[in-house]
Protein backbone atom coordinates (compact mmCIF):
# COMPACT_ATOMS: atom_id res chain seq x y z
CA UNK A 1 0.00 0.00 0.00
CA UNK A 2 1.84 3.06 -1.24
CA UNK A 3 -0.63 5.67 -0.02
CA UNK A 4 -0.53 4.25 3.47
CA UNK A 5 3.27 4.37 3.56
CA UNK A 6 3.21 7.97 2.36
CA UNK A 7 0.71 8.75 5.08
CA UNK A 8 2.93 7.20 7.73
CA UNK A 9 6.03 9.02 6.50
CA UNK A 10 4.22 12.36 6.33
CA UNK A 11 2.77 11.92 9.80
CA UNK A 12 6.20 11.11 11.16
CA UNK A 13 7.58 14.17 9.45
CA UNK A 14 4.96 16.45 10.93
CA UNK A 15 5.60 15.02 14.39
CA UNK A 16 9.33 15.58 13.93
CA UNK A 17 8.85 19.19 12.80
CA UNK A 18 6.61 20.02 15.75
CA UNK A 19 9.12 18.36 18.03
CA UNK A 20 11.92 20.50 16.64
CA UNK A 21 9.89 23.69 17.11
CA UNK A 22 9.12 22.76 20.70
CA UNK A 23 12.78 21.90 21.22
CA UNK A 24 13.92 25.28 19.86
CA UNK A 25 11.73 27.11 22.36
CA UNK A 26 12.82 24.99 25.31
CA UNK A 27 16.47 25.29 24.31
CA UNK A 28 16.19 29.07 24.10
CA UNK A 29 14.31 29.48 27.36
CA UNK A 30 16.61 27.18 29.27
CA UNK A 31 19.67 28.82 27.74
CA UNK A 32 18.54 32.27 28.86
CA UNK A 33 17.43 31.10 32.30
CA UNK A 34 20.46 28.88 32.99
CA UNK A 35 22.87 31.56 31.84
CA UNK A 36 21.04 34.47 33.39
CA UNK A 37 19.43 33.40 36.65
CA UNK A 38 22.73 32.78 38.52
CA UNK A 39 23.57 36.45 37.98
CA UNK A 40 20.33 37.66 39.46
CA UNK A 41 20.55 39.10 42.91
CA UNK A 42 18.99 41.94 44.80
CA UNK A 43 22.14 43.92 44.07
CA UNK A 44 21.86 43.27 40.32
CA UNK A 45 18.21 44.31 40.22
CA UNK A 46 18.65 47.53 42.17
CA UNK A 47 22.10 48.97 41.53
CA UNK A 48 22.87 51.28 38.60
CA UNK A 49 24.81 50.08 35.56
CA UNK A 50 28.56 50.60 35.39
CA UNK A 51 30.19 51.46 32.10
CA UNK A 52 33.80 50.41 32.64
CA UNK A 53 33.98 48.01 35.56
CA UNK A 54 32.36 44.77 36.64
CA UNK A 55 29.58 44.54 39.19
CA UNK A 56 27.01 46.88 37.69
CA UNK A 57 23.29 46.21 37.81
CA UNK A 58 20.19 47.11 35.89
CA UNK A 59 18.19 48.91 38.56
CA UNK A 60 17.71 52.19 36.71
CA UNK A 61 16.91 50.40 33.44
CA UNK A 62 14.35 48.17 35.12
CA UNK A 63 12.63 51.17 36.67
CA UNK A 64 12.70 53.02 33.34
CA UNK A 65 11.12 50.06 31.56
CA UNK A 66 8.20 49.92 33.96
CA UNK A 67 7.76 53.69 34.05
CA UNK A 68 7.72 53.89 30.24
CA UNK A 69 5.34 50.94 30.05
CA UNK A 70 2.88 52.58 32.44
CA UNK A 71 3.06 55.95 30.67
CA UNK A 72 2.64 54.33 27.25
CA UNK A 73 -0.34 52.32 28.49
CA UNK A 74 -1.94 55.38 30.09
CA UNK A 75 -1.69 57.27 26.80
CA UNK A 76 -2.59 54.46 24.43
CA UNK A 77 -5.43 52.75 26.30
CA UNK A 78 -8.04 55.54 26.10
CA UNK A 79 -7.27 56.19 22.43
CA UNK A 80 -7.42 52.51 21.55
CA UNK A 81 -10.60 52.06 23.56
CA UNK A 82 -12.30 54.99 21.83
CA UNK A 83 -11.23 53.86 18.39
CA UNK A 84 -12.33 50.30 19.08
CA UNK A 85 -15.73 51.44 20.36
CA UNK A 86 -16.27 53.52 17.26
CA UNK A 87 -15.17 50.75 14.91
CA UNK A 88 -17.28 48.09 16.55
CA UNK A 89 -20.38 50.00 17.65
CA UNK A 90 -20.82 53.03 15.43
CA UNK A 91 -18.91 52.53 12.19
CA UNK A 92 -21.03 51.92 9.12
CA UNK A 93 -19.72 50.02 6.15
CA UNK A 94 -18.56 53.00 4.17
CA UNK A 95 -15.54 54.56 2.56
CA UNK A 96 -14.36 56.34 5.69
CA UNK A 97 -14.38 53.17 7.79
CA UNK A 98 -12.55 51.22 5.12
CA UNK A 99 -9.81 53.85 4.90
CA UNK A 100 -9.33 54.04 8.65
CA UNK A 101 -9.22 50.26 8.95
CA UNK A 102 -6.56 50.18 6.26
CA UNK A 103 -4.62 52.88 8.08
CA UNK A 104 -4.66 50.85 11.30
CA UNK A 105 -3.56 47.76 9.41
CA UNK A 106 -0.67 49.65 7.84
CA UNK A 107 0.36 51.10 11.19
CA UNK A 108 0.42 47.63 12.73
CA UNK A 109 2.68 46.30 10.00
CA UNK A 110 5.14 49.20 10.05
CA UNK A 111 8.60 48.19 11.23
CA UNK A 112 9.05 49.44 14.78
CA UNK A 113 12.32 51.09 13.79
CA UNK A 114 10.38 53.33 11.38
CA UNK A 115 7.94 54.22 14.16
CA UNK A 116 10.93 55.07 16.35
CA UNK A 117 12.48 57.22 13.65
CA UNK A 118 9.21 59.07 13.18
CA UNK A 119 9.11 59.70 16.93
CA UNK A 120 12.70 60.94 16.76
CA UNK A 121 11.89 63.29 13.87
CA UNK A 122 8.67 64.72 15.26
CA UNK A 123 9.01 64.68 19.04
CA UNK A 124 12.73 64.66 19.74
CA UNK A 125 13.78 67.10 17.01
CA UNK A 126 10.71 69.07 15.91
CA UNK A 127 8.97 69.50 19.26
CA UNK A 128 12.34 69.72 21.04
CA UNK A 129 11.39 67.16 23.68
CA UNK A 130 14.88 65.70 23.40
CA UNK A 131 15.69 62.08 24.22
CA UNK A 132 13.12 61.75 26.96
CA UNK A 133 10.69 59.40 28.61
CA UNK A 134 7.86 61.42 27.10
CA UNK A 135 9.14 60.95 23.53
CA UNK A 136 9.67 57.26 24.25
CA UNK A 137 6.20 56.84 25.70
CA UNK A 138 4.64 58.46 22.63
CA UNK A 139 6.68 56.24 20.29
CA UNK A 140 5.58 53.18 22.26
CA UNK A 141 2.01 54.42 22.03
CA UNK A 142 2.21 54.60 18.25
CA UNK A 143 3.69 51.11 18.23
CA UNK A 144 1.03 49.76 20.56
CA UNK A 145 -2.11 51.54 19.28
CA UNK A 146 -3.03 49.37 16.27
CA UNK A 147 -2.56 46.08 18.12
CA UNK A 148 -4.41 47.24 21.22
CA UNK A 149 -7.24 48.70 19.13
CA UNK A 150 -7.66 45.46 17.27
CA UNK A 151 -7.61 43.37 20.44
CA UNK A 152 -10.20 45.59 22.17
CA UNK A 153 -12.36 45.57 19.05
CA UNK A 154 -12.28 41.77 19.01
CA UNK A 155 -13.28 41.73 22.68
CA UNK A 156 -16.22 44.03 21.96
CA UNK A 157 -17.27 42.02 18.92
CA UNK A 158 -17.47 38.86 21.05
CA UNK A 159 -20.32 40.32 23.09
CA UNK A 160 -23.51 38.95 21.48
CA UNK A 161 -25.86 41.40 19.77
CA UNK A 162 -28.55 40.22 22.14
CA UNK A 163 -27.00 42.47 24.79
CA UNK A 164 -27.16 45.49 22.51
CA UNK A 165 -30.77 44.73 21.61
CA UNK A 166 -31.61 44.38 25.28
CA UNK A 167 -30.02 47.76 25.93
CA UNK A 168 -32.02 49.36 23.13
CA UNK A 169 -35.20 47.71 24.34
CA UNK A 170 -34.68 49.32 27.74
CA UNK A 171 -34.53 52.70 26.04
CA UNK A 172 -30.80 53.19 26.46
CA UNK A 173 -28.92 55.08 23.80
CA UNK A 174 -26.15 53.30 22.00
CA UNK A 175 -23.49 55.07 24.06
CA UNK A 176 -25.19 54.17 27.32
CA UNK A 177 -25.47 50.57 26.18
CA UNK A 178 -21.75 50.53 25.41
CA UNK A 179 -20.85 52.13 28.70
CA UNK A 180 -23.11 50.14 31.01
CA UNK A 181 -23.68 46.85 29.21
CA UNK A 182 -21.06 46.07 26.59
CA UNK A 183 -17.91 47.33 28.31
CA UNK A 184 -18.51 45.59 31.66
CA UNK A 185 -19.19 42.35 29.82
CA UNK A 186 -16.02 42.77 27.77
CA UNK A 187 -13.72 43.71 30.67
CA UNK A 188 -12.13 40.27 31.16
CA UNK A 189 -11.01 39.89 27.56
CA UNK A 190 -10.01 43.56 27.32
CA UNK A 191 -7.79 43.09 30.37
CA UNK A 192 -6.23 40.00 28.80
CA UNK A 193 -5.49 42.00 25.65
CA UNK A 194 -4.02 44.92 27.57
CA UNK A 195 -1.69 42.74 29.64
CA UNK A 196 -0.55 40.83 26.55
CA UNK A 197 0.23 44.08 24.78
CA UNK A 198 2.06 45.27 27.89
CA UNK A 199 4.38 42.29 27.51
CA UNK A 200 5.11 43.29 23.94
CA UNK A 201 5.70 46.93 24.87
CA UNK A 202 8.01 45.92 27.71
CA UNK A 203 10.36 44.08 25.36
CA UNK A 204 10.35 46.68 22.58
CA UNK A 205 13.67 48.34 21.91
CA UNK A 206 13.89 49.46 18.29
CA UNK A 207 11.25 52.17 18.74
CA UNK A 208 13.07 53.49 21.81
CA UNK A 209 16.75 53.84 20.93
CA UNK A 210 16.16 57.19 19.20
CA UNK A 211 13.28 58.43 21.33
CA UNK A 212 13.91 57.54 24.97
CA UNK A 213 17.64 57.53 24.32
CA UNK A 214 20.45 55.18 25.15
CA UNK A 215 21.67 56.64 28.41
CA UNK A 216 20.47 56.15 31.95
CA UNK A 217 21.57 59.02 34.20
CA UNK A 218 21.78 58.19 37.86
CA UNK A 219 18.50 58.66 39.69
CA UNK A 220 17.83 59.80 43.20
CA UNK A 221 15.17 57.45 44.44
CA UNK A 222 14.52 59.69 47.45
CA UNK A 223 13.23 62.50 45.26
CA UNK A 224 9.76 61.97 43.85
CA UNK A 225 9.12 65.49 42.60
CA UNK A 226 8.58 65.01 38.84
CA UNK A 227 10.08 68.44 38.08
CA UNK A 228 13.52 67.68 39.51
CA UNK A 229 16.04 66.47 36.97
CA UNK A 230 17.29 63.51 39.01
CA UNK A 231 13.83 62.44 40.11
CA UNK A 232 12.79 59.02 38.81
CA UNK A 233 9.42 60.46 37.82
CA UNK A 234 10.76 63.29 35.65
CA UNK A 235 9.31 62.60 32.19
CA UNK A 236 11.87 64.80 30.41
CA UNK A 237 15.00 62.81 31.32
CA UNK A 238 16.59 60.35 28.93
CA UNK A 239 15.82 56.80 29.90
CA UNK A 240 17.47 53.65 28.66
CA UNK A 241 15.18 50.68 29.16
CA UNK A 242 16.14 47.10 29.91
CA UNK A 243 15.69 45.96 26.30
CA UNK A 244 17.70 48.89 24.95
CA UNK A 245 20.38 48.19 27.56
CA UNK A 246 20.76 44.59 26.35
CA UNK A 247 21.14 45.79 22.78
CA UNK A 248 23.50 48.59 23.73
CA UNK A 249 25.96 46.57 25.80
CA UNK A 250 26.01 43.78 23.25
CA UNK A 251 26.85 46.19 20.44
CA UNK A 252 29.32 48.43 22.21
CA UNK A 253 29.58 47.46 25.87
CA UNK A 254 33.11 47.51 27.26
CA UNK A 255 32.60 46.42 30.84
CA UNK A 256 34.47 43.19 31.64
CA UNK A 257 31.33 41.34 32.72
CA UNK A 258 29.27 42.32 29.68
CA UNK A 259 28.20 38.72 29.06
CA UNK A 260 27.05 38.20 32.60
CA UNK A 261 25.15 41.49 32.65
CA UNK A 262 23.42 40.85 29.35
CA UNK A 263 22.56 37.26 30.32
CA UNK A 264 21.10 38.50 33.60
CA UNK A 265 19.23 41.33 31.94
CA UNK A 266 17.84 38.98 29.26
CA UNK A 267 16.67 36.62 31.98
CA UNK A 268 14.90 39.47 33.78
CA UNK A 269 13.29 40.59 30.52
CA UNK A 270 12.12 37.08 29.66
CA UNK A 271 10.79 36.43 33.16
CA UNK A 272 8.79 39.67 33.16
CA UNK A 273 7.40 38.98 29.68
CA UNK A 274 6.49 35.41 30.66
CA UNK A 275 4.80 36.71 33.80
CA UNK A 276 2.76 39.11 31.68
CA UNK A 277 1.80 36.31 29.30
CA UNK A 278 0.75 33.90 32.04
CA UNK A 279 -1.03 36.46 34.19
CA UNK A 280 -2.96 37.84 31.20
CA UNK A 281 -5.07 34.72 30.86
CA UNK A 282 -5.31 34.06 34.60
CA UNK A 283 -6.43 37.61 35.25
CA UNK A 284 -8.99 37.49 32.45
CA UNK A 285 -10.47 34.25 33.73
CA UNK A 286 -10.55 35.47 37.31
CA UNK A 287 -12.31 38.69 36.30
CA UNK A 288 -14.75 36.71 34.19
CA UNK A 289 -15.66 34.53 37.15
CA UNK A 290 -16.01 37.54 39.41
CA UNK A 291 -18.01 39.73 37.05
CA UNK A 292 -20.42 37.14 35.70
CA UNK A 293 -22.67 34.82 37.61
CA UNK A 294 -21.16 31.73 35.99
Interface with other proteins in residues 130-159 (CB under 8 A):
142, 145-146, 149
| CA 198 – CA 40 distance, rounded (Å) | 23
Q: Is the dihedral of CA 201, 206, 207, 213 positive or negative?
A: positive
Q: Considering only residues 52, 94, 109, 294, which one is a binding residue for other proteins as defined by CB under 8 A?
A: 109
Closer CB to other proteins, 185 or 195, in the complex: 195
Applying the rule CB under 8 A, the residues between 205 and 264 that interact with other proteins are 205-206, 209-210, 214, 243-244, 246-247, 250-251, 259, 262-263
DSSP summary character for residue 123: I
Closer CB to other proteins, 164 or 231, in the complex: 164
Q: Considering only residues 56, 199, 238, 264, which one is a binding residue for other proteins as defined by CB under 8 A?
A: 199
Contact yes or no for 133/237 (Cβ under 8 A): yes
Closer CB to other proteins, 110 or 255, in the complex: 110
Q: Considering only residues 95, 162, 171, 254, which one is a binding residue for other proteins as defined by CB under 8 A?
A: 171
Q: Considering only residues 100, 157, 236, 283, which one is a binding residue for other proteins as defined by CB under 8 A?
A: 100
Q: Considering only residues 49, 87, 129, 159, which one is a binding residue for other proteins as defined by CB under 8 A?
A: 87
34 binds other proteins (CB under 8 A): no
Applying the rule CB under 8 A, the residues between 44 and 83 that interact with other proteins are 78-83
Residue partners of 267: CB distance under 8 A and separation at least 6: 32, 33, 35, 36, 37, 39, 40
Q: Considering only residues 51, 98, 176, 221, which one is a binding residue for other proteins as defined by CB under 8 A?
A: 176
Q: Hey, how many other C-beta atoms are within 10 angstroms of the C-beta on 81?
A: 18
Least CB distance from residue 138 to other proteins, whole Å?
10
Helix, strand, coil distribution of the chain in percent, nearest 5: 75, 0, 25
Least CB distance from residue 223 to other proteins, whole Å?
29
Least CB distance from residue 71 to other proteins, whole Å?
17
Judged by CB under 8 A, which stretch of 39-47, 119-127, 157-165, 215-223 contacts other proteins?
119-127
Contact yes or no for 174/161 (Cβ under 8 A): no
Dihedral angle, C-alpha 139, 143, 146, 148, nearest 10 °? -100
Q: Considering only residues 200, 230, 257, 279, which one is a binding residue for other proteins as defined by CB under 8 A?
A: 200
Q: Hey, how many other C-beta atoms are within 10 angstroms of the C-beta on 51?
A: 10
Provide the CB-side half-sphere exposure for 111 (13 A, CA): 4
| CA 44 – CA 108 distance, rounded (Å) | 35
99 binds other proteins (CB under 8 A): yes
Amino acid sequence: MKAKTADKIATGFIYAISGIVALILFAMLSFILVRGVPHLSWHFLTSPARAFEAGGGVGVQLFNSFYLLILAMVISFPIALGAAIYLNEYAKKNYFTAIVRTAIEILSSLPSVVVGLFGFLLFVVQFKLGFSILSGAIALTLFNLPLLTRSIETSLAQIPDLQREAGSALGLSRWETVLHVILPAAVPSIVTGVVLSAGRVFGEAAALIYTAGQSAPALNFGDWNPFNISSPLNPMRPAETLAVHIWKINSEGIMPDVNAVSAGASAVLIIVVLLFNFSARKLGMKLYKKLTSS
